[in-house]
A and B are shown apart, each in its own frame.
Chain A
Amino acid sequence: MSIPPDRASGEEAFLRQFMAEERALLRFILRYVPSIADARDVLQETLVTLWAKRAEFDAAREFLPWACGIARFKVREFWRKQPRWEALAHDDFMTLVDQSREELAPELSVRAEKLRECVAKLPAEHRATLDRYYREDEPVETLALREGRSVDAIYKTLQRVRRSLLECIERGLRSEGAAT
C-alpha cells in the first residue's frame, strides 16, 4: 500500500507529539484520578482514542491541549463507570479542582523544585521503595516480597515517606520565606 507523503508526514508528526507528551498526559489525568493504576488505565483509554482520532489531528494546533481535552472526557467516563466516583461526574468537581489549582499554581511550581532537593535527602532505602513503586510500576505485593515485609507495611512506608517529603518541602519554603 502506498501512503501519500502528506498523510505519512502528518501522522509521523502526530506520533512524535504523542510520544513527547505521554508523561504530561498522565500527570494531567492524575489531577482527577489519584490512584496511579486507575490513572494509567484512563491514560490507556485516552491513547486508544487519540490513536483512533489521529487523522483529525491538525499539526498546526498544540497537541497537549487537544489530548487533554480527550483525556478530560475519559476521566468523566471513568467517574461515571465507577460507582464510588459517580458523584463527581455530575457536579462541578473538575472545575473546582481546576480553579483551585490555578490559584495555587505558583506555589506548586516552587514545591516541584523543592521536591527534587527533598528526594535527594531521603534515605537510600526509602528512595529505592519510591523508585520501584512510582518509576518501575512495581506492585506493592512484589515490593513486600522483595523487602520481606507485609503489604500493609509497604503502604505505611509510602505514606510516611510522602509525609516526610511534604514536611521537607514545607521547611524549605519556610526557610526561604516563600510559604504562604
Chain B
Amino acid sequence: MKLPPDHDALFARMCDGLATDAETAEFHRLLRTDPAALDAWLRYSTLHADLATAGVLAQAAQPTPEADTRAAFRAAPRVARFPWLPQAAAGLLVGLCAASLVWAYVAPLTPRALSLLEEDFENAELPIAVRAALETGIWRGDRAAVVGPERGVAPAKGQKMVRFLRGDIAGVTKPDGGHIAVFYRLLDLRPLRSELSEGDGVVEVSASFNAVEFPAEERYRCAITLFALDSETLPERVGRLGTALTTDALAMARSSPMKLDQDPASWQRATTELRLPANAEFLVVRLHVSQAFESGDRPVFDGAYADDVRVSFLRRAPLP
C-alpha cells in the first residue's frame, strides 16, 4: 500500500502533540490498516525517541556562550491553568524562609513559575557538613568546597561554584564499585500549603555540572533527585537523610543520569521535576555525582563541580 504523501507531517504532529482529534483518528486508522504506514511510523517514532532519550544530542552538544542563561530563560513546560499565588502567600514565604529563597518570575513569559531558590554559591555557608542538623537555607552533605575559577573550570554563574570532594554520607559502594558524592538542600513548602492542597503543585529543579579532564578509563555521572517529605518523615540530622529518603519519602523524582564530559569549558545542565503530594511539607533537593567505574575504597572526587541551582514552583493539572 502506498503511503499518503502527507504522512510525514502527520507523524510530526503526533510527536509534537499538535494533532487534532481528526488527525489522531486518521493516524490510528492508517496504522491499523496499512503495514507500510506502521513500519514508517516505527522508524519515525524510534528516531523521535532516540533524540529524546538516547543521548545522541548530548554527545553532539556544542557549548554556546548563551548556555549559562538558558535556565533563567526557560519557562516551565506545558504549564496551563495557572491560578497565580496570592500576594499574601508570597509575603508569608519571604518571612519564613531563608534569604536565598527569592520570589521572582523565572522569566517574563507565560506560563510563569515561581522561583523558590536560585543558588550560585556566591554566599554559600561553609563547610557543607555531614554531622549537622538538617535545616533550611543551607547546603548539607558530603565534604565539598566553595571555590572560584580553577583548573580550567569557570563558574557557570557568578564568581563561585561548589566542588565535590568526597563521598562521605553515601559511603556505600555501588554495584560497579564506584562511589557517590551528594549534597542536599532542604526547602520548606509549608507556606505553599493551600496551593499544594489542590494536588497540582509541581517543582522543577535544574543544576549545572562540570568536571576537569579525567583519565579516559574513569566515568562520572551527575543527577538531581527530589524528595517530598512531611514533618513526620523529616529526619533531624543530615546523616540519616539517605535512609529516610529511600524509605519514608512521600514522593521522589530523579533526572536522567548524565555522563560528565571531558571538557572543563562546558557545563552540563540537569533538570527534573516532581509532582508534589498534597500533604508535602518539605522538599529535599539532592545533587550528586557518581563514579561509574571501579574505584576501590577511595570515595574521592577530585574534580567535579556544580553551580547555578534553580528550583521553581508551578501548578499543572494532573492527568485527567
Question: Which A residues are within 8 Å of any B CB, using their own CB?
Answer: 1, 3, 7-8, 11-12, 14-16, 18-20, 22-24, 26-27, 30-31, 34-39, 41-42, 44-45, 47-48, 51, 78, 81-85, 87-88, 91, 93, 96-97, 100-101, 104, 107-108, 111-112, 115-116, 119-120, 122, 124, 127-128, 130-132, 134-142, 145-146, 155, 158-159, 162-163, 165-166, 169
- 12 A-B contacts, Cβ less than 8 Å apart? A30-B53, A36-B48, A83-B21, A111-B43, A119-B60, A127-B61, A136-B271, A141-B75, A141-B109, A142-B74, A159-B16, A166-B44
A135 & B61 in contact (Cβ 8 Å cutoff): yes
Question: Which B residues are within 8 Å of any A CB, using their own CB?
Answer: 8-9, 11-12, 14-19, 21, 24-25, 28, 31-32, 35, 38-39, 42-54, 56-62, 64, 70, 73-78, 107, 109, 172, 174-175, 223, 225, 243-244, 246-249, 251-254, 256-257, 269, 271, 273, 275, 319-320
Which of B42, B51, B254 has the most C-beta atoms of chain A within 10 angstroms of its own C-beta? B51
Q: How far is the CA of A47 from the CA of B226 in the complex (A)?
A: 13
A115 & B50 in contact (Cβ 8 Å cutoff): yes
A119 & B53 in contact (Cβ 8 Å cutoff): no
Residue in B closest to A12 when the chains form the complex, CB atoms: B246
CB-contact partner of A127 in B12, B62, B251, B275, under 8 A: B62
Q: How far is the CA of A141 from the CA of B108 in the complex (A)?
A: 12
Q: How far is the CA of A138 from the CA of B9 in the complex (A)?
A: 21
Q: How far is the CA of A91 from the CA of B21 in the complex (A)?
A: 18
Q: How far is the CA of A22 from the CA of B58 in the complex (A)?
A: 17
Number of A-B residue pairs having CB atoms within 8 Å of each other in the complex: 193
A11-B49 contact given A19-B254, A45-B319, A115-B56, CB 8 Å threshold: no
Report chain A residues within 8 Å CB of B31: 93, 96-97
